[in-house]
């Protein structure tokens, strides 16, 4: 995907281009592009202000910042749970604001989502929870089982495939959620505080799993308050404060180091 700003915006003719405050970035192979994004909730709250963010394919990005900084809002924009009030949100080459109602599910399937509270169906087994994600999108029955088995093996849950969530540890529940996020072969995993309900040791296991998935080529964006993990791993860190990106650093720490 390429977003190229015209050399002379006015010459392109469209009023949209002319009104832009900044030229669009030149981006190849980006999974996510946020260009000049603003999000104002209906109550007037400005959750994001002039956010520019490019996430290339294969990146592993920590999204950090105090509570209320706008981390979850960025994630909601990516899955079109919310629409930006200004600017452009591009996922896998698609401007999400321009998707037709029919296109939305297909673009959502390119993203796997992992939440802090797992969001598993309590009466379904591990296997059924993961299979359900495929069933609701109309996947052919004969294809479901092999795909489910493959992702359960990947996250190390084959031996508890027939357990229901209350028979699992917190770490196993989060692995189930990660398996469910992976089952559509997404390009991007967004994990919103995936270790928020887990103890430190289990948190590390979950992070290691996300790193392994990233090594398999899946782009990962993870919002977290876990300073130790962020600082130890020295990955890309995007720090938000009051809706603005105040730092975007490769090999960064949780806190600014200068």
Q: In what order do the strands lie in the sheet with 60-64?
A: 111-115, 188-192, 219-223, 60-64, 236-241, 244-249
Choices 7-15, 18-26, 39-47, 164-172; region in contact with ligand ATP by CB under 6 A: 39-47
| Between 71 and 184, CB nearer to Mg ion | 71
Q: Does 68 bind ligand ATP (CB under 6 A)?
A: yes
Choices 9-17, 42-50, 87-95, 140-148; region in contact with ligand ATP by CB under 6 A: 42-50
Report the partner that residue 67 touches, choosing among ligand ATP, Mg ion, none (CB closer than 5 to 8 A by kind): ligand ATP
Report the partner that residue 147 touches, choosing among Mg ion, ligand ATP, none (CB closer than 5 to 8 A by kind): none
Q: How many CB atoms lie within 10 A of CB 161?
A: 17
Find all residues with CB under 8 Å of 151, minimum gap 6, and list them: 130, 179, 180, 182, 183
> Which residues lie across from 54 on neighbouring strands?
33
What is the closest distance, in whole angstroms, from the C-beta atom of residue 3 to Mg ion in the complex?
A: 27
**Degrees, nearest 5: CA angle 3-5-11:** 135
What is the closest distance, in whole angstroms, from the C-beta atom of residue 76 to ligand ATP in the complex?
A: 7
| Between 65 and 165, CB nearer to ligand ATP | 65
Q: Does 222 bind ligand ATP (CB under 6 A)?
A: no
What is the closest distance, in whole angstroms, from the C-beta atom of residue 2 to ligand ATP in the complex?
A: 29
DSSP state for residue 10 in the 8-state scheme: G
Choices 16-24, 69-77, 101-109, 211-219; region in contact with ligand ATP by CB under 6 A: 69-77
**Degrees, nearest 5: CA angle 151-90-46:** 105
What is the closest distance, in whole angstroms, from the C-beta atom of residue 17 to ligand ATP in the complex?
A: 29
- Start-to-end Cα distance in the chain: 36
Residues near Mg ion (CB under 5 A)? 71-72
Looking at beta carbons, which residue is closest to Mg ion? Answer: 72
Find all residues with CB under 8 Å of 140, minimum gap 6, and list them: none
Among 16, 22, 45, 255, interactor with ligand ATP by CB under 6 A: 45
- Write down the residue that tokens 């600014």 correspond to: 256
Distance separating alpha carbons of residues 113 and 224, to the nearest angstrom: 14
Find all residues with CB under 8 Å of 15, minimum gap 6, and list them: none
Binding track over 73-112 against ligand ATP, x by CB under 6 A = x---------------------------------------
Q: Does 71 bind ligand ATP (CB under 6 A)?
A: yes
Radius of gyration of the chain (CA): 19
Q: Which of 57, 55, 32, 59 is nearest to 211 (CA)?
A: 59
Among 30, 72, 91, 229, interactor with ligand ATP by CB under 6 A: 72
Q: Which residues bind ligand ATP (CB under 6 A)?
A: 41, 43, 45, 47, 65, 67-73
């Amino acid at each position: 995907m390429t977003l190229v700003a015209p050399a002379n915006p006015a010459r392109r003719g469209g009023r949209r281009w002319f009104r832009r405050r900044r030229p669009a970035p030149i981006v190849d192979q980006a999974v996510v592009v946020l260009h000049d994004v603003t999000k104002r909730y209906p109550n007037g709250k400005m959750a994001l202000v002039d956010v520019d963010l490019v996430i290339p394919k294969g990146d592993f990005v920590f999204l950090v910042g105090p509570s209320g900084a706008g981390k979850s809002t960025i994630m909601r924009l990516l899955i079109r749970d919310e629409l930006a009030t200004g600017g452009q949100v591009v996922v896998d080459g698609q401007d999400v604001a321009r998707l037709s109602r029919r296109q939305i599910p297909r673009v959502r399937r390119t993203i796997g989502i992992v939440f802090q509270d797992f969001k598993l169906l309590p009466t379904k087994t591990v296997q059924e929870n993961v299979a359900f994600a495929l069933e609701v999108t109309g996947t052919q029955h004969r294809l479901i089982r092999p795909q489910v088995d493959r992702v359960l093996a990947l996250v190390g849950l084959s031996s508890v495939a027939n357990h229901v969530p209350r028979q699992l540890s917190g770490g196993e529940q989060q692995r189930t959620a990660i398996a469910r996020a992976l089952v559509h072969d997404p390009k991007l995993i967004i994990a919103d505080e995936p270790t928020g309900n887990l103890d430190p040791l289990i948190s590390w296991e979950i992070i290691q799993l996300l790193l392994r998935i990233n090594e398999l080529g899946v782009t990962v964006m993870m919002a977290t308050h876990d300073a130790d993990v962020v600082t130890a791993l020295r990955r890309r860190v995007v720090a938000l404060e009051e809706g603005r990106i105040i730092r975007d650093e490769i090999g960064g720490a949780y806190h600014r180091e200068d």
